[in-house]
Structure 1
Amino acid sequence: MAEIRLPLAGGGSETWRTGEPLRFDPPSRPFTRVAYAAAHVVADPLAEVDPWLEPAIDWERTLAYREHLWSLGLGVAEAMDTAQRGMGLDWAKSLELIRRAVAASGGRPGRLIACGAGTDHLAPDPGLSVEQVIAAYEEQCAAVEAAGGRIILMASRALAACARSPDDYGRVYDRILGQVREPVIIHWLGGMFDPALEGYWGRGDHGEAMEVCLDILARNAAKVDGIKVSLLDKRHEIAMRSRLPESVRMYTGDDFDYPELILGDGEHHSDALLGIFDAIAPAASAALAALAADEHERYREILAPTVPLSRHVFRAPTRFYKTGVVLMAWLNGHQDHFTMVGGQQSARSLLHLAELFRLADRAGLLQDPELATARMRSLLAVHGLEG
């Protein structure tokens, strides 16, 4: 047990004594759910770059973290928004990340990987044409396939900026899905994660947008492995998954209600592609192993204390959740610093980070409380506080 003084909202501080960390065994059987962790990147704090303008990545630590996720039976969703795609990580560095991670996976069983392909090298502009968006998607999809990766078709800021109607979305997705080699995962990312994607599918109402998306999925089902829905509203996901083509999976992207959605209702369930699985990987792995053994109470017992942590990490403005994910990696010794691509370590307040520390401890997810406390104390000191 370790002790630290943590700041309180409104002023003052409290003495926090850490509890005992939970210990989880590595999975001994295959999961009954497909489970991807959207993985973060480890910045290189010693690179001679302007961090707001040029991403610098510590490749050794970044790939080591993917090895950690694979060792727990989790797949890696590569170069997604958790890796700061579009918030510090550009397409050039994303492609290098994809190439390195796919090579590290080696195509071996148990090293599942899928990679984000989008249009982020094309600046969003209402004056763009649909053909330009299609060409941008084609370029990135071809690059991911050439690297040997499976595609996650990311939502496009450029398409959201220039589309005039739902028909424009259908035209783009029909064209791209008609060309891919293997079935892809489509990613519907809500405006709470990226304000530039508000009104995606050409409709401001999520229910109406779902109808557009379902139509596209129905006519392209053979080229779609699944759809990841990140709307932070379980009602939309539950309604949508019951209407998917039989061969199309629902991958939950709901970092608020993932335990319920993955478990399912007895008729339908969601697989997982979650940013929070990066931060709670040992617990996620153990819970999925319990689910595979039909130990539903154990599954709930493991994941229940992670939900308050996840809801805090993903609280509004949700797009800054990556800061909490990286803080967890630093506290647990997976990297030696709390520095992020684009300087995003400053995107959350010290009070937010202190509360994250408390919630992680309550969930038993600080693997070495002495190390975590020492690192949190150093963060407090940078802000002029004694821990």
Structure 2
Amino acid sequence: MNKIKKLLIIGFVWPEPNSSAAGGRMMQLISIFKENGFEITFASPALDSDFMVDLTAFGVEKKAIELNNSSFDVFIKELNPDVVLFDRFMIEEQFGWRVSENCPKAIRILDTEDLHSLRTARQKAFRENRTFGPFDLFSEEVAKREIASILRCDLSLIISQFEMKILNGIFKIDSRLLFYLPFLVDEMKEEDLLDLPLFEDRENFVFIGNFLHEPNWNTVQYLKEAIWPLIRKQFPEAILKVYGAYPSQKALQLHQSRDGFLIMGRAADAAEIVKKAKVVLAPIRFGAGLKGKLLEAMQCGTPSVTSEIGAEAMHADLPWNGCITNDMEFFAKQAIALYQDENLWKQSQKNGVTIINHCYQKRAFSSALVDIISALLVDSENHRLHNFMGSLLQHHTLKSTKYMSKWIEAKNKN
């Protein structure tokens, strides 16, 4: 790309890489576009937070925007971006029609983060005490909205191979509209493990997860009520430290020093905490996407015990860096084994390095993404001709959403 291209990212929230995996992923995307010469503007209708990243320090212009306000039309016309990246389908619903109307030639990309409809359907099945099946998605209203958003965009970034299979197989989405993009990290060597704290220098079990994310909060409750008592029964001196941004009062009330179950709140530096821990526990019972906490554990040389949902699409069937099980008793047994058996612990570390290098190489995925965006910039018209359903949805959405938004804007003025 010789000519400098403009990228507008419209964020659901301002990025908080120290609070959530979603914030970390957004910074990875910004890094890819910066490295390939894009001028980036990050706009969001969200309020500023105390923990948001300083975008200007990364050479990114920050712009506050409003929902249901025609001031956005003036802003985007002046900016005239070549590419617009929507952070989650809800943002595409709000601003996609305005982008289409004011900058029709701009390439529209959706970063799904994870399939919200998959997470919602699994959560519903869990609460109703039944087995989830992919066709459950057909009854979810959020699935209809999410799939419509994917179809309206020129390209959607999908973080999980399992979700790629659902979109291709269940919803029959054209592969040309999808791009598999997992978390992206640099290559790691086994020798790098020597620079991390040793087995004998580490202590405690740890869990890290943003408390605003329902699967994380459910996991903490599950640990407290079911799994931690099993571990403490066999290993009375064990301590579990639970970290996470935005803990509720309910979460804080789970803190019990006498049981070794400690609610620590926000982690100032999650990686430093995980490096000092001996084992990560993550018995996740529902959710979607990839689990940033488990990839971070691998990077920190910290083995983990997780569920099938936790490890889903994360390891390409390579040996896990610890253990994968849905059985509570076995979960507790393996957690203790990893904590006490140095040889098992070290082999699990090495398994993590293998997974990182096989599944998450930034260099390979980022160059492929830039290539496909370059091709779209050259020939978006032909690409869109092959996406009639997207054009149809764009047409009707623009009509219906446009007038609803204008009605809300007029109502707000009155």
Give the structure-1-normalised TM-score: 0.31
Q: Which has the higher helix share?
A: 2
Structure with the bigger RCO (C-alpha within 8 Å, sep 6+) is 1
Give the structure-2-normalised TM-score: 0.30
